[in-house]
Amino acid sequence: MNGAAIAASGLTMRFDGFTAVDKVDLHIEKGELFGLLGPNGAGKSTIIKMLTTMIRPTDGSALVWGHDIGRERDAVRSSIGVVFQDPSVDSQLTGRENLDFHGRMYGMDARMRQKRIEDVLDLVDLTDKADVLLEDYSGGMQRRLEIARGLMHHPDVLFLDEPTLGLDAQTRRYIWEYIQNMNRSEGVTVVITTHYMEEADYLCDRVAIIDRGRIVALDSPKNLKDLIGADIVVLEVGDGHLDDLAGVLSDFDWVISAEASENAVALSVDHGESRIPEIVLTASRAGVKIRSVSMHEPTLEDVFLEFTGKKMRDAETGGGGKLMAVQSRMRARRH
């Protein structure tokens, strides 16, 4: 497929002097699964609202499937489907009735509606729940039905705004599979907003990382992570010998940098997993007792940290806080 599904230039949105989206340029190919990744409040949903004609941009322009979002609003709306953050299905209707109502709103005749309802229900694995009231659906089932509804009228572009927000990890995985299957089988261009790192990494052909209304990085998840480069290996050791160990390990040509901090030594290492045995052996020969070894491969969180100087989310889990702090200092020295 040739041409852009979405082409935006200088897209800007201000609210009472606050700039929510700041001169965003986007080029999304037809058939692409594209992600807008960033923390809550970064401007992701505002970009979606402009591209779907829900709000008019303060400045800039965009074409969605060749239609101008300012001058051809009806044509844009006919070519897109949208799944919002907040549930928008009717809990007092069945799954089939929700889909039928949507089809009627788009002027689909009875035969077309019936055929399409069966197709999209099968796509999201809800055929056996078609005649169950939505109030008896689980959260994951409701999200799947909303995706099915967004596909009812054969949209060229489907916008998914935080499609797995509030769902448990297992259900999120199921939703990812349905999104990938839909993208492949329907050939629909998908634009997804998310603040889940693993979601963008797993799903998207390309990702734009958004911070404070601006795109700070844009590429495939793999290429973005390759920008960070080396793995980080953290050794938690006993008392003393930290600086000595860091110095000895720095002599290896595959160690990019080494830093002692509190009771740990952090190494920036190429192919870290294969180097761990030699690191442990070297520490043993130096008389240093290692309590634990952990390795951190580059993630999209690291890309965000690299470009903005802060973590995507304030909350940290496990030992990630110490590792992230050491890693941040190591990067600062390199720059």
Same domain, 119 and 173: yes
Q: Is 169 exposed, middle or buried (0-12, 13-18, 19+ CB in 10 A)?
A: exposed
Same domain, 234 and 198: no
User: What's the rounded Cα separation, in Å, for the pair 177 and 189?
Assistant: 16
User: What's the rounded Cα separation, in Å, for the pair 301 and 310?
Assistant: 9
Same domain, 213 and 233: no
Q: What is the pLDDT of residue 28?
A: 97
User: What's the rounded Cα separation, in Å, for the pair 3 and 332?
Assistant: 40
User: What is the maximal distance between C-alpha atoms in the chain?
Assistant: 79
- Three-state DSSP class for residue 194: strand
- The residues facing 208 across adjacent strands are 36, 218
Same domain, 93 and 209: yes
Helices (H) and strands (E) in the chain, counts: 12, 14
Q: What is the pLDDT of residue 284?
A: 86
Q: What is the pLDDT of residue 319?
A: 40
Residue 300's nearest CA partner among 215, 196, 203 is 196
Same domain, 167 and 246: no
Task: Write the CATH number for 257.
Answer: 3.30.70.100
Backbone φ, ψ for residue 44 (5° rounding): -60, -55
Q: What is the pLDDT of residue 313?
A: 60
Same domain, 245 and 317: yes
Q: What is the pLDDT of residue 316?
A: 32
Buried b (16+ CB within 10 A) or exposed e, 42-73: bbbbbbbbbbbbeeebeebebbbbebebeebe
Hey, CA dihedral for 190, 167, 92, 130, is it positive or negative?
Answer: positive
Q: What is the pLDDT of residue 129?
A: 96
Same domain, 17 and 87: yes
DSSP class of 289: P
Same domain, 205 and 278: no
Residue 90's nearest CA partner among 121, 135, 130, 122 is 135
Same domain, 147 and 19: yes
Instruction: Give the range of the structural domain holding residue 312, as residue numbers without chain letter.
Output: 226-334
Same domain, 196 and 64: yes
* Domain final residue pick, 188, 219, 250: 219
Neighbours of 322 (CB within 10 A): 18
Total count of domains within the chain: 2
Report CA 270 to chain centroid distance, whole Å.
Answer: 26
- In order along its 335 residues, the chain shows pLDDT tens digits of 457 999 999 999 999 989 999 999 999 999 999 999 999 889 999 999 999 999 999 999 999 999 999 999 999 999 999 998 888 889 999 999 999 999 999 999 999 999 999 999 998 999 999 999 999 999 999 999 999 999 999 999 999 999 998 888 999 999 999 999 889 988 999 999 999 999 999 999 999 999 999 999 999 999 998 887 778 888 888 766 677 788 888 888 888 888 887 778 888 887 788 888 988 888 888 888 888 898 888 888 888 888 887 777 643 333 444 444 544 544 544 44
**Reported pTM:** 0.79
Task: Write the CATH number for 208.
Answer: 3.40.50.300
Q: What is the pLDDT of residue 85?
A: 84
User: What's the rounded Cα separation, in Å, for the pair 209 and 36?
Assistant: 6
Same domain, 195 and 255: no
Same domain, 174 and 234: no
Q: What is the pLDDT of residue 239?
A: 65
* Domain final residue pick, 219, 251, 275: 219
* Domain final residue pick, 219, 254, 289: 219
